[in-house]
Structure 1
Amino acid sequence: MNSSRALYFRLLREIQPYWPVVALSIFCLAAAAGVDVYLTSLLKPLVDQNLRADSLARSEAWDLPLEIFGLAVIRLVTNFGSDYGSAWISARVMYDLREKMFSRFLKLPVRYYDKSSTGVLVSRVTYDVSQIMDAGVQVMTTLVRDSVTTVFLLGLMLYRDWQLTLLCLILIPGVALSIRIVGRRQRRISRETQSSMGDMTRILDESLSGQRMVKIFGGFRFELTRFLRVNNSVRTLTVKRAATSSMNSGVIMLLIGITLAFIVYYASLRAQQGQLTAGAFVSFMVAMMMIQSPIKNITRINESLHRGLAAAETVFGVLDETEELDDGTQEIGRAKGALKLDDVSFDYGGNNRPALDHVSLDIAPGQTVALVGSSGSGKTTLANLLPRFYEATSGGITLDGVPVNQFRIHDLRRQFAMVSQDVILFNDTVAANIAYGDAAPDLERIRAAATAAFALDFIEAMPEGFNTMLGENGVRLSGGQRQRLAIARAIYKDAPVLILDEATSALDTESERKVQAALENLMQDRTTIVIAHRLSTIENADRIVVMSQGRIVEAGRHAELMDKGGAYAQMHRVQFTQQVEETAP
């Protein structure tokens, strides 16, 4: 766990590039504090001179009011400068941190997302970053303004009467002890609050994105119970944090009150003895009353600091995560598409059985290879190893005879296009979704890709054609339409290797026919790996590879495997029987 000192200094390094604005803001804060204290010091001449009937001539009576007016103008300027500077620094550093976090998220390996909730990750970028800077700016403002104010007021009190001032210092040990005890509790509560807010965001993300499943399966009460539990946790922690802060401030105010009672009594005795003028007494008492507010704010700085440090732990934890391994140096233009897996094994971790167990497979350029088998047999895992979504535990994978880890990862992934059962569409235009990833999209290519994917008809029927916004994940489209847009995107990319992960398994017969025709256009002159559930869709594949428990149990063309009468023939007979039963009157 990072120490508080290390976390805070790391946060200061994020602020360091903007030190001119920080310096200006600090100067304005200090100047504003100085003006406030100087105004307090003017109470002595006001009481001792201006308020006496025989003290000043009429012309001299304007001196002090004009001085106060000038100080008010300076206070206006310095207050605006400090507030604006603090807000600018806070917004800028939040921008930087969120940019760094988002960039790091996009570079993290797939394994990181396998064990992380999207809602928690969103909470890191939105809630935690704002907590850091709210606390950071508040700490800086309090530390400068209230510390300077306290020092100046203390100096004024020493100047007016040093003996009375020494009485005020007796509360310092008690304040320090209170801060130390409360700080530990605040840090723990803030850390628990961060975790609870992450859970709340996760539950919101799951419940709202899956609202149809919630409705159809009657999950309202279950989701509400989950949300109420975490919402109550956030409420309880918020109250605990406020109670701890209030108790800390209350104890300090009690110490100040006790000290104040002694000071008033002692000051009264000194005034009676003529050792303290009325103006000096008033100035001292106002300064002493004013010093309570900055001292109170300084005691609360611990709460803000530890809330920010708890958030900093999670934010910097993300920034410290190891990025995807990208140690390849070899560039590649357009691959021929020859793939080879040589004795490849892979383990997700925590399982007794590896997902892939010594798999060897040779795929020639332009060849269509279908992977079939029951769920959990390793088909999708094998496909995910090719673009290095995961790294093989052992064995080697080559593209055109070169190990895939020798290519720069961006260059390697440019050689692959993917169409899966779970289509991802972005809340953008149709054209932007088809040309996704292209910084300079070509409208003619977009139209040609849509035509080849048999998507042009329904696209042109939309209100704004290719400029129509799709909404979140293309919610307004049918399953077949979304699938054909995904195929158009793969056609537009024009990658030499294509991965089809059960691209038609969730479609009705009519949609499947259109999507299958689009896939045939897409597969031309490309090395294609097809992960298929319906065996009828891959009978024309150049090779069919049957997998079971992470191993290849047989491979060959459809006719060869049917004649062999092995695992593939058995699977085919079962599916054929089911289809006959489903279509029988």
Structure 2
Amino acid sequence: MKPLWRLNKYLLKYKGLILLGILFTVISNIFVIIPAQLVRLAIDYVVESFSIYKPMDQGGMGDAAQEIFLKFVVVFGILILVMALLRGIFLFFIRQTLIIMSRKVEYDMKNDIFEHYQNLPLSFYRNNSTGDLMARITEDVSRVRMYLGPAIMYGLNLLILFPLVISYMISVNPTLTLYSLLPLPVLSLSIYYVNNMINERSEKIQRSLSGLSTFVQEAFSGIRVLKAFVRESDSVNDFATASEDYKVKSIRLTRVNALFFPLIMALVGVSTIITVYVGGMQVIRGEIGYGVIAEFILYVNMLTWPVTSLGWVTSIVQRAAASQTRINEFMDVKNDIVSTAQNFEEINGTVEMKDLTFIYPDSGIKALDHVSFKIEEGKTLGIIGTTGSGKSTIANLLMRMYDPTEGQIAIDGKPIDYYNISDLRRQIGYVPQDVFLFSDSIGNNIAFGLDKADQEKIEQAAKDADVYQNIVDFPKGFQTMLGERGITLSGGQKQRVSIARAIAKEPKILILDDCLSAVDTKTENVILTALKNIMQDRTSIIISHRVSSAKLADQIIVLDDGKVIERGNHGSLMNQKGVYAELYEKQTQSGESVDS
């Protein structure tokens, strides 16, 4: 239960609903017990009335006596019906308090977990899969909700009903109480073990179904590859194997489920037989009336579900504790990227890296090795290098996705950790190498970084990124809805929309992380020409493996294996006849570049 203590803050928040739920449970159970007592009184009344009726009938007063007896029986019937209706009303109130409380807690938990996820650093997402993150905020929270709702509801019902019924049964007849309840502990233990078997097999089925779903999703997503390599028959055979595994596990679960209700009915039947037998012997001896037997049979049936639910509730609590442990695991992860100041401060754009070294904490790879450079406000820096040279790492460090292992980053002469992280990122326009667009309209994607959508800014940003004409050619223009990850657009169009999104927020620092790799050289030149105006009086960093993208920069650094091996402008680097000049010659010859 220790992992579930974390939920106490939510239970305290909704203590009013819990207290009402307890009150309604007590009242509901009172209306359960009263009908059983009415049945006993009614049966005893009928039996006694029958012994009185015979001599009255012989004396000619049978019809009058029968009418009186029937009136009393009708009154008993109406009272039992009223009790049943009142119990139903309070059962409704129980669900309206305890189950709604669990839904409110579920809502709060999902919001808290999602907010916590949003505040965690990028390293957290590199170490954990998206599927695992999704499972903890959906399936695990749902299992915890089962503990907060049904488990608490049925647990309370058991804790309240059991003492009420047992104490009353003992007050009526202790001996009959003992015999009638003998099978109930066996029933509870049996249900517990059967439930564990059901849960264990259900888990296996879920894993099997997950594997089956993944296989189908990959087969449909990669259908072109399957057809191109003529592997359809192999795919069908693999699916049949996975499906067979799912079928076998489902049948095993069905066999265990088949034990559930027969087991309950058998043990309830045994309890009823014992009650009738022992009660019958006491009736013969004149110790009790006929109505007591009927009353005790009703009590046994009343206690059957609470006792049965004990095993089920125990199982729910175990699963909830396991799920809460998984949730706590991520909730205990702290964001180590913090700011020394929290006040908003507008930046001008002077960026300096001093002797910067960075090692990725998850992989241990040294991405940058004593890198130093400075960009004055309003100037442009080009960063050139091959794949894995550490170019994108510089962008991540400037965005404070990570903190450097050694060295310092300064903006306007102040350490980067001086600035509030959110305020800093609001003033940086970032175009990532791996373009991500949301399943929303093109206009909303471009306006993503704006506090308030401004159509004029959206259109101007689209023009500057050379994607305006493509957008207006769509039937719905800027209202065109994009598919998952922007699948509606071509690779080049996605990159240009991503550029428009970055420049629409009018950032003080603009970072272009190899964002022109999916466009041809002609479009690249058009975009760069348009960006000249955008980059005017704005600090810009152009990261690329293409020399043509960075040659217009005021300063260029060449990275290799995390180290700066050359620096200067395009002309000086060409005169050095080093790595930069060699890259330029190769790319020019292969057609990647245009005139210098």
TM-score normalised by the chain length of structure 1: 0.86
Bigger drift between 436-445 and 211-220 goes to 211-220
Measured in 1, the distance between the counterparts of 2:234 and 2:400 equals 38
List gaps (5 residues or longer) in structure 1: none
Measured in 2, the distance between the counterparts of 1:231 and 1:331 equals 58
Shift in alpha-carbon separation, 1:418–1:568, aligned structure 2, 3 A: same
Bigger drift between 65-74 and 572-581 goes to 572-581
Aligned residue pairs: how many? Answer: 578
Compute the displacement of 1:300 (Å): 1.6
Compute the displacement of 1:64 (Å): 1.2
**1:200-245: CA deviation from partner (whole Å, max 9, x where unpaired):** 8887887777777777778878998998899888888888888788
Q: Are positions 1:89 and 2:89 aligned together? A: no
Measured in 2, the distance between the counterparts of 1:317 and 1:17 equals 23
Q: Are positions 1:45 and 2:41 aligned together? A: yes
The answer to whether the 8 Å contact 1:191/1:310 transfers is no
Match of 2:58 in 1: none
Measured in 1, the distance between the counterparts of 2:356 and 2:226 equals 40
Match of 1:152 in 2: 164
Q: Are positions 1:138 and 2:150 aligned together? A: yes
The answer to whether the 8 Å contact 1:187/1:310 transfers is no
Compute the displacement of 1:80 (Å): 1.8
User: Match for 2:109: what amino acid?
Assistant: L
User: Match for 2:346: what amino acid?
Assistant: R
Bigger drift between 220-229 and 116-125 goes to 220-229
Shift in alpha-carbon separation, 1:151–1:204, aligned structure 2, 3 A: farther
Match of 2:19 in 1: 23
Bigger drift between 435-444 and 174-183 goes to 174-183
Bigger drift between 70-79 and 494-503 goes to 70-79
Q: Are positions 1:363 and 2:359 aligned together? A: no
Q: Residue 298 of structure 2 is aligned with which of 286, 292, 295?
A: 286
Q: Counterparts of 1:340-355 in structure 2 under 5 Å?
A: 340-349=352-361, 351=363, 353-355=365-367
Q: Residue 6 of structure 1 is aligned with which of 2, 12, 15?
A: 2
User: Match for 1:415: what amino acid?
Assistant: Q
Q: Counterparts of 1:399-548 in structure 2 under 5 Å?
A: 399-548=411-560
User: Match for 1:41: what amino acid?
Assistant: Q
The answer to whether the 8 Å contact 1:120/1:199 transfers is no
List gaps (5 residues or longer) in structure 2: 54-64
User: Match for 2:514: what amino acid?
Assistant: E
**1:445-474: CA deviation from partner (whole Å, max 9, x where unpaired):** 222222322333232233333333223232
The answer to whether the 8 Å contact 1:119/1:205 transfers is no
Secondary structure in 2 matching 1:356: strand
Bigger drift between 192-201 and 560-569 goes to 192-201
Secondary structure in 1 matching 2:29: helix
User: Match for 2:464: what amino acid?
Assistant: A
Measured in 1, the distance between the counterparts of 2:404 and 2:235 equals 38
Secondary structure in 2 matching 1:322: coil
The answer to whether the 8 Å contact 2:358/2:404 transfers is yes
Match of 1:377 in 2: 389
Secondary structure in 2 matching 1:323: coil
Larger radius of gyration: 2
User: Match for 2:31: what amino acid?
Assistant: V
The answer to whether the 8 Å contact 1:187/1:306 transfers is no
The answer to whether the 8 Å contact 1:453/1:521 transfers is no
Question: Matched residues, percent identical?
Answer: 30
Measured in 2, the distance between the counterparts of 1:135 and 1:534 equals 57
The answer to whether the 8 Å contact 2:28/2:87 transfers is yes
Shift in alpha-carbon separation, 1:218–1:356, aligned structure 2, 3 A: farther
The answer to whether the 8 Å contact 2:272/2:297 transfers is no
Q: Residue 310 of structure 1 is aligned with which of 322, 327, 330?
A: 322
Measured in 2, the distance between the counterparts of 1:111 and 1:222 equals 39
Measured in 2, the distance between the counterparts of 1:205 and 1:395 equals 46
Measured in 1, the distance between the counterparts of 2:12 and 2:234 equals 48
The answer to whether the 8 Å contact 1:34/1:148 transfers is no
User: Match for 1:347: what amino acid?
Assistant: I
Match of 2:582 in 1: 570
Measured in 2, the distance between the counterparts of 1:350 and 1:156 equals 64
Compute the displacement of 1:10 (Å): 2.3
Compute the displacement of 1:330 (Å): 5.2
**1:418-438: CA deviation from partner (whole Å, max 9, x where unpaired):** 113322211222222111132
Match of 2:81 in 1: 69
Secondary structure in 2 matching 1:427: coil
Measured in 2, the distance between the counterparts of 1:176 and 1:141 equals 18
The answer to whether the 8 Å contact 2:271/2:300 transfers is no
The answer to whether the 8 Å contact 1:156/1:287 transfers is no
Secondary structure in 2 matching 1:42: helix
Measured in 2, the distance between the counterparts of 1:46 and 1:98 equals 53
Compute the displacement of 1:143 (Å): 0.9
Q: Are positions 1:112 and 2:120 aligned together? A: no
User: Match for 2:78: what amino acid?
Assistant: L
Shift in alpha-carbon separation, 1:174–1:311, aligned structure 2, 3 A: same
Measured in 2, the distance between the counterparts of 1:112 and 1:214 equals 34
Measured in 2, the distance between the counterparts of 1:197 and 1:403 equals 51
Shift in alpha-carbon separation, 1:299–1:235, aligned structure 2, 3 A: farther
Compute the displacement of 1:396 (Å): 0.7
Q: Are positions 1:337 and 2:337 aligned together? A: no
The answer to whether the 8 Å contact 1:371/1:531 transfers is yes
TM-score normalised by the chain length of structure 2: 0.85
The answer to whether the 8 Å contact 2:350/2:411 transfers is yes
Shift in alpha-carbon separation, 1:543–1:230, aligned structure 2, 3 A: farther
